Amino acid sequence: MAMTDPTPEGRFGRFGGRFVPETLIPACDELDKAFREAWADPGFRAELNELLNSYAGRPSPLTDCHRLAEELGYRVLLKREDLNHTGSHKINNVLGQALLAKRMGKTRLVAETGAGQHGVATATAAALFGMECVVYMGEVDVARQELNVFRMHLLGAEVRTAMSGSRTLKDAVNEAMRNWVATVEDTHYCLGSAMGPHPYPWMVREFHRVIGDEAREQCRALTGGDPDVVTACVGGGSNAIGIFSGFVDTEAELVGVEPAGGAAIAHGVPGVVHGSESFLLQDEHGQVTEAESISAGLDYPGIGPEHAHLADIGRARYENVTDAEVVDAFQLLSRTEGIIPALEPAHALAWMSRARIELAGKTVMLNLSGRGDKDAVQMMEILG
Amino acid sequence: MGAERGTVEGALRARIDGGGKCLVPYITGGFDGYLEAIQAAAHAGADAIEIGIPFSDPVMDGPVIQEANEIVLAKGVTPQSIMDEVKDLEVDIPLAVMTYYNIAYRFGLERFAKSLKAAGISAAILPDMPLDEVGPWAAAADDAAVETVMFAAPTTTDERLPRIVARASGFVYAVGLLGVTGERDELAASATVIAARCKAVTDKPVLVGVGVSTPAQAQEVSRVADGCIVGTAIVRRLIEGQGGPEGVGALVADLRSALDQC
């Protein structure tokens, strides 16, 4: 069952590829080879599954939301990635990559983070495996997510502030790549989304495929069939590609939701940054423009290349929502279901709330990619 | 256009055939005084000049060139404005641009190659375009008779290296160390190693860049390489206002005389 694998060059249709300095190409080749071998090795898969179950708390439940359904006028199923260890789906990918890094003999992890969820997850995996860990985070994000900065310190990671450019996720990726260029011999770049140079978009998708695989079985057991719509928020797009993987060969409509201020599919044009060709927010001269969103985790001007491809071939559609709609959705889920969502998945819920007429009578599955604890301080200020 | 500038590879080969070592300074395009700095560098003995077209996300560059990029972008400098200014510049050595793939991609690869040629710029250096992705650009560049410089890194495998140098035109850019552009106190041991590896598999000019900033380092690396590229040391002088274009000329003259003693 499945999503199409990329070409050997890492292409999903016309998107993807490997646009990084020559220094990193051998490392990408080595990673590609190591991942292919590990992913085909039942021993590696068993070890990862054991970690996902006994350490991260998988499988995550599927919650049938009765009060929210009443409010919205259609059935809502939440895939509860917020209940994973470290509070988001990010742990699936980092456990996979850290295990792979160990297998490759790497002793150090470098990562970028936006909201801090991937940074915390990487720091967690590094602590678990006894690896050194450096996380780059934009200065703007360090200020708005100080709790996650503290968590990373507790976990033994070094957090380095990215001071260049827009000082958000995009620049944290630049700094992480620059560091990787200098440390590639002993360091694995633990990239946090389904983006970057090949094999990252594909590998990250495969590590998150567990979300979609579980959700598909859980949905069939619960409802006797597949959902009509599967939706998820999209920054780089890792949680969305994970859940879409379970449903791409079903009749379910796939809907990715971006922030209005970072809607690469709606407002971007094809471009190349951070190692791959995809839709990208940029000016007429090719300078990458800054995304603006209430959510640090979606504050990204690009999108993973496989999403660009799914949009290109019409298999998935991409909507975008405003910060104000997100604030409403954040409160809606808290009030109706007793679940405080992260601001990122609140984007998908905001679209669900806006599209209630279109969705009437359907069964809609939302990937609740993270919990809202990290956003409580920010929301306290917004809601007064 | 100014004087006939020739090709980068032609100028470098002439220097090498005369028993000399090549010097290619890098100067960020659009920076205050950059046109005068290019002329000063040419007069001080540069064999060709690399002109940076700024990009918002320069992943191969360290803090100094990043800062120059940001300063220039804030002024509203564009790829076209740099090409327009360079076209009319009186300078009789060949010019190259160094920028990132998205700049050329957004411009349109064919249009970018033709525009470079029309501006009297003979070569392009795109550090985030590895051999694996060179196809579409190479087709456009070859068609417009623009030289495509290729990178060889300390991590490049022996299997890959001959294919990289075979695709290169202008020169082979040997990356001197594991890291981004910037000044280092000492020349990395990897600099002469990668130069020797490249020289063993090609007759094309092999220049080392990244981590080469002083006359002594230029001299040391050029005992093995055909020459070097110096960027950050020059751009830092422009940023810090150390003598402006004359300061650039003085540094290039020092580098030139060190290389002439190789």
**Domains of chain B as residue ranges with CATH:** 8-260 (3.20.20.70)
Verify whether residue B61 is a known catalytic residue.
Answer: yes
Catalytic residue among B9, B47, B50, B147: B50
User: Same structural domain for residues A263 and A340?
Assistant: yes
Catalytic residue among A28, A89, A198, A309: A89
Q: According to the model, what pLDDT value does residue A34 have?
A: 97
CB contact under 8 A, B178 and A182: yes
Asked if residue A4 is part of any domain, the answer here is no
CA nearest to B125, candidates B164, B168, B166, B176: B168
Residues in chain B closer than 8 A to A270 (CB atoms): 105
CA–CA gap between residue B262 and residue B253 (Å, rounded): 15
Asked if residue A195 is part of any domain, the answer here is yes
C-beta of residue A120 within 8 angstroms of C-beta of residue A151 = yes
**Which of A200, A226, A243 is the last residue in one of the domains?**
A200
Task: Using pLDDT thresholds of 50, 70 and 90, give the confidence band for residue B147.
Answer: very high
CB contact under 8 A, B132 and A18: yes
pTM over 0.90: yes
Residues in chain A closer than 8 A to B182 (CB atoms): none
Asked if residue A6 is part of any domain, the answer here is no
The C-alpha of B42 sits at a distance from chain A's nearest C-alpha, in angstroms, of 29
User: Same structural domain for residues A39 and A143?
Assistant: yes
User: Same structural domain for residues A26 and A41?
Assistant: yes
CA–CA gap between residue A252 and residue A246 (Å, rounded): 10
Residues in chain A closer than 8 A to B133 (CB atoms): 17-19
User: Same structural domain for residues A95 and A84?
Assistant: no
CB contact under 8 A, A22 and B57: no
Asked if residue A145 is part of any domain, the answer here is yes
Number of domains making up chain A: 2
> Beta strand B172-175 with A316-321: parallel, antiparallel or unpaired?
unpaired
The C-alpha of B98 sits at a distance from chain A's nearest C-alpha, in angstroms, of 13
The single-letter code of the amino acid at B109 is L
Residues in chain B closer than 8 A to A289 (CB atoms): 56
Which member of B56, B63, B127 has the closest CB to residue A21? Answer: B127
Tokens of B182: 């910037």
Q: According to the model, what pLDDT value does residue B156 have?
A: 98
Task: Using pLDDT thresholds of 50, 70 and 90, give the confidence band for residue B1.
Answer: very low
- Closest residue on chain A to B180 (Cα): A178
- Closest residue on chain A to B159 (Cα): A26
Task: Using pLDDT thresholds of 50, 70 and 90, give the confidence band for residue B2.
Answer: very low
By residue range, what is the domain housing residue A224?
57-88+209-383
C-beta of residue A262 within 8 angstroms of C-beta of residue A292 = yes
Tell me phi and psi for residue A201, to 5 degrees: -55, -40
User: Same structural domain for residues A222 and A270?
Assistant: yes
Residues in chain A closer than 8 A to B129 (CB atoms): 19
Asked if residue A234 is part of any domain, the answer here is yes
User: Same structural domain for residues A95 and A82?
Assistant: no
User: Same structural domain for residues A26 and A76?
Assistant: no
Which member of B57, B127, B179 has the closest CB to residue A170? Answer: B57
B88-133 residue pLDDT tens: 999 999 999 999 999 999 999 999 999 999 999 999 999 999 999 9
User: Same structural domain for residues A358 and A266?
Assistant: yes
Asked if residue A1 is part of any domain, the answer here is no
User: Same structural domain for residues A40 and A155?
Assistant: yes
User: Same structural domain for residues A277 and A265?
Assistant: yes
B191-241 residue pLDDT tens: 999 999 999 999 999 999 999 999 999 999 999 999 999 999 999 999 998
Tell me, what CATH number does A311's domain have?
Answer: 3.40.50.1100
Mean of the per-residue pLDDT values of chain B: 96
- pLDDT tens for chain A, 384 residues long, are 467 899 999 999 999 999 999 999 999 999 999 999 999 999 999 999 999 999 999 999 999 999 999 999 999 999 999 999 999 999 999 999 999 999 999 999 999 998 899 999 999 999 999 999 999 999 999 988 888 999 999 999 999 999 988 888 999 999 999 999 999 999 999 999 999 999 999 999 999 999 999 999 999 999 999 999 999 999 999 999 999 999 999 999 999 999 999 999 999 999 999 999 999 999 999 999 988 889 988 989 999 999 999 999 999 999 999 999 999 999 999 999 999 999 999 999 999 999 999 999 999 999 999 999 999 989 999 998
User: Same structural domain for residues A104 and A152?
Assistant: yes
**Which of A200, A221, A254 is the last residue in one of the domains?**
A200
Asked if residue A231 is part of any domain, the answer here is yes
Verify whether residue B92 is a known catalytic residue.
Answer: no
B70-93 residue pLDDT tens: 999 999 999 999 999 999 999 999
Which member of B70, B104, B178 has the closest CB to residue A23? Answer: B178
Asked if residue A359 is part of any domain, the answer here is yes
Which member of B73, B80, B105 has the closest CB to residue A271? Answer: B105
CB contact under 8 A, A25 and B156: yes
Tokens of A137: 């985070």
**Which of A165, A200, A235 is the last residue in one of the domains?**
A200
**What are the contacts of B81-87 at 24+ separation with CB within 8 A?**
B81/B30, B82/B29, B82/B30, B82/B51, B82/B53, B83/B115, B83/B116, B83/B118, B83/B119, B83/B121, B84/B119, B85/B35, B86/B29, B86/B35, B86/B38, B86/B51, B86/B119, B86/B120, B86/B121, B87/B1, B87/B118, B87/B119, B87/B120
User: Same structural domain for residues A299 and A176?
Assistant: no
